[in-house]
Amino acid sequence: MYHPGIKGDQNHGHGIQPMEHRGVILLEDPDLAYYDHTGYASNQGRPTTVTMMSQSSHPVDYSSDSRFFQHRTPGVVPKAPPTVASTDTAATGYGALRPGGPVPLFSKHYVGYLLTWLLIGFFDGGIPALVYPLFGVYLHLEDYQGNAVLALINFAWNFKFIFSFLTDCVPMNRYRRKPYLYFGWIILFGFMLSVMFRGQVDPYMLNGEVVNPNAEADGPRYVVPLIAISFARILVVVPSEGMMVEYAHREGEMIRGRTQTITMIVRSIGQAAGILLVALGCNGPEYGGSFDQSIPLQILFAVWTVLCVAGVVVTWFLVPESQMPTSAQPIRSQMLRVWRIIQQRSTWQIMLFGFFQNAAMSLQFHQKDSFYRLRLSSDTRALNLADAVAMLGTIIGAFLMKQYWTNSSWRKVMLWSFCATVVIGLPIETLTTFKMLPHQSLYLVKDLFVAVGTALIILTRELVIIEITDPGHEATTYGFITTVHYLGKPFVTMLSNLFASDSTDLKKDSEETQWKSATYMWIVFLVRIIVMLAIVRLVPRQKRHALEVKLLGNPSLIVPLVLFLCVVLVFLVVVTSSFLAVIKDTSCLKIAGGRGC
């Protein structure tokens, strides 16, 4: 059997010698092709060939330089562990970060995992899609107020790390994932039910006539429940992310990333379905749509309530989880361990990259929904259908990553994807700003291809997190890093409020307004290019490089501490500006995106 520090006599099969301890050894390609991390063995005879990842047979080297047999009992050949992995474990199991073999996600035993992500996607798509029809048209909020509402609805993502830490370090009855899924679905069910039975206010305008001039004051009536709903959604997302990292760690190096790409595809399908529900259901005259009538908000929230019940059922019957062998460790020791993870160079590098990359890509040079309506003559349905088209682009991007680019250079994938978004997006945006676009379908095509490139960038960024995450702290590491990433978006949303055009300015459609919008647009694209070129080297080149940075990079105390203080400061500013923007008496403040009181 394999034993660290023991080396057998390869030529004669007897005698052992203690090996000199040399610290961490980074395995090169030939080593990983032969290395079996499971340690399972049988009493079969030695083979004369070994199956490599190319599925061809190669002669086995029995010399003293053959590393394959240096850590083996002579005469004993390893065999695959009794798991649900494919029969050819030599091609899929080597280089895995935890034992067990690749997870068959589409099998009956694990299909609950995918169904959970499908339901998560449905809420992730439907609730943000409701923001513009409800707040921008039905309640007639200004663009900067709509930006603030969207930031508040995603408010809970800023606390994602706390819930991620709990699901890893505070198990319930020795379960780390399923109890939090139950809590999330039940709380979400309660708030959906409360909104469903809440009375619906009159719209600002109906059939071209203003029927409720004070509709804007009713904004907090819907914002507050949606904020609470976002916290419940987080309780469902964080244990699901922990399971995703666990399953990804069971994959061999050559196929690792398959779980994450499939998860993104399933989640995007759910998002597209949620967007379509809002697009077709909220398309009556009160929402600025073309249908004669719309689905009442009570019915819409009733559908979401039923889906919450479906989430509980899926968790109960279809989500597998084994109990932990021991109870939780003291919180203080767990927090110290997390702090050591944050100090690692590989962790804070990808945190910095994700924050600046997400912030740069989230910069807005116009309020998208108002721009669509006034430049492309689109109604609410067309706006949401455009978002569904973007989800299709995300699905395509995830599929391409899974099939072709999982083992390509991460830096090159990011740079080429970013270049594609700029080359395709800049000309179409310029033509649209000056009302020179031949047909509005070109704008939808642009959204599709830009979504493909953006999905590749996001997936590549998150593949790095999988490689540097420690077993036992899957959700915590993934959650903390992505929390910093997400914080970039509301931060630039607050900055965008300072430049967001008033609805009346866009309606004038003067030459001055066009040139002003175009100038902002060109500046934003230039900022994106500069930021991406400046930070791309923070991303490891590939999985081996990520492991090398993790093991050999010197831990730092100053950088994580400064980063933590900056994150807290940005968080406080974002939360304050977002709350001020949706309150009528303070929405005029410049920090809230107004013109000044």
Averages of pLDDT over runs of 10 residues in the chain (597 residues) are 41 43 40 34 36 37 37 43 36 73 91 96 92 83 72 79 90 90 95 86 77 78 86 94 94 91 96 92 81 86 95 94 77 85 88 90 67 60 79 94 91 94 91 80 88 93 91 89 84 67 59 80 91 93 89 80 81 74 69 64
Helix (H, G, I), strand (E, B) or coil at 388: helix
Q: Where are the alpha helices (DSSP H) in 345-408?
A: 345-362, 368-375, 380-400
pLDDT at residue number 2: 40
Map tokens 């929405």 to a residue: 587
Residues 438, 558 within the same domain: yes
- Residue 8 forms beta bridges with which residues? 16
Distance CA 218, CA 240 (A): 35
Q: 476 is written with which tokens?
A: 């915590």
Separation of alpha carbons 531 and 529, rounded Å: 6
Q: What is the distance between the alpha carbons of residues 184 and 171, in angstroms, rounded to a whole number? A: 15
Distance, in Å, from the CA atom of 272 to the CA atom of 309, rounded to the nearest integer, reads 20
Backbone φ and ψ for 540, nearest 5 degrees, come out as: -60, 155
Note the pLDDT of residue 364: 72
What is the DSSP secondary-structure string of 63-93? STT-HHHHTS-TT-EE---SSSS-S-HHHHT
**Do 228 and 191 touch, CB atoms closer than 8 A?**
yes
Specify the pTM: 0.79
- Both 488 and 535 in one domain: the answer is yes
Is residue 152 located within the same domain as residue 28?
A: no
Cα–Cα distance, 474 to 259 (Å, whole number) = 14
> Does residue 47 sit in the same domain as residue 130?
no
- Whether 96 maps to a domain, the answer reads no
pLDDT for the residue 178: 94
Residue 530: give the domain boundaries: 111-592
- Angle (nearest 5°) at CA 320 between 237 and 306: 55
Six-digit token string for 229: 């709903």
The DSSP call for residue 136 is: I
* Residue 139 forms part of a structural domain: yes
Q: Which residue has the tokens 């309660």?
A: 190
SS (H, E, C) 273-338: HHHHHHHHHCCCHHHCCCCCCCCCHHHHHHHHHHHHHHHHHHHHHHCCCCCCCCCCCCHHHHHHHH
Q: 414, 356 in Cβ contact below 8 A? A: no
In this structure, are 74 and 214 located in the same domain? no
The reply to whether 120 and 74 lie within a common domain is no
Please check whether residues 29 and 122 belong to one and the same domain.
no
Beta strand pairing call for 16-18 and 77-78: unpaired
The CATH number covering residue 494 comes to 1.20.1250.20
Within this chain, do residues 15 and 126 fall inside the same structural domain, yes or no? Answer: no
Cα distance between residue 452 and residue 459, in whole Å = 11
In a domain, 283, yes or no: yes
Same domain, yes or no, for 47 and 166? no
Longest dimension (CA), the chain: 95
Q: Is residue 85 part of a domain?
A: no
Among 60, 79, 98, residue at a domain's last position: 79
Residue 166 vs residues 172, 175, 180, 328, 559: alpha-carbon distances, Å: 10, 11, 9, 10, 25
Q: What are phi and psi of 181, to 5 degrees?
A: -60, -45
pLDDT of residue 460: 92
Residue 465 lies in a domain: yes
Question: Which helix H or strand E contains 49, and what residues bound it?
Answer: strand 49-51
In a domain, residue 380? The reply is yes
Q: Which helix (H) or strand (E) holds 6?
A: strand 6-8
- Residue 94 in domain: no
Do 311 and 381 belong to one domain? yes
CA dist 480 and 509 (Å) reads 43
Is 102 a member of any domain?
no
Residues 63 and 118 grouped into a single domain: no
- What DSSP designation does 172 have? B
Are 125 and 541 in contact by the 8 Å Cβ rule? The answer is: no
* Domain edge (last residue) among 79, 99, 125: 79
Distance CA 101, CA 95 (A): 11
Of 34, 62, 79, the position where a domain reaches its end is: 79
User: What's residue 105's pLDDT?
Assistant: 92
Q: How many domains does the chain have?
A: 2
Same domain (yes/no): 227, 334? yes
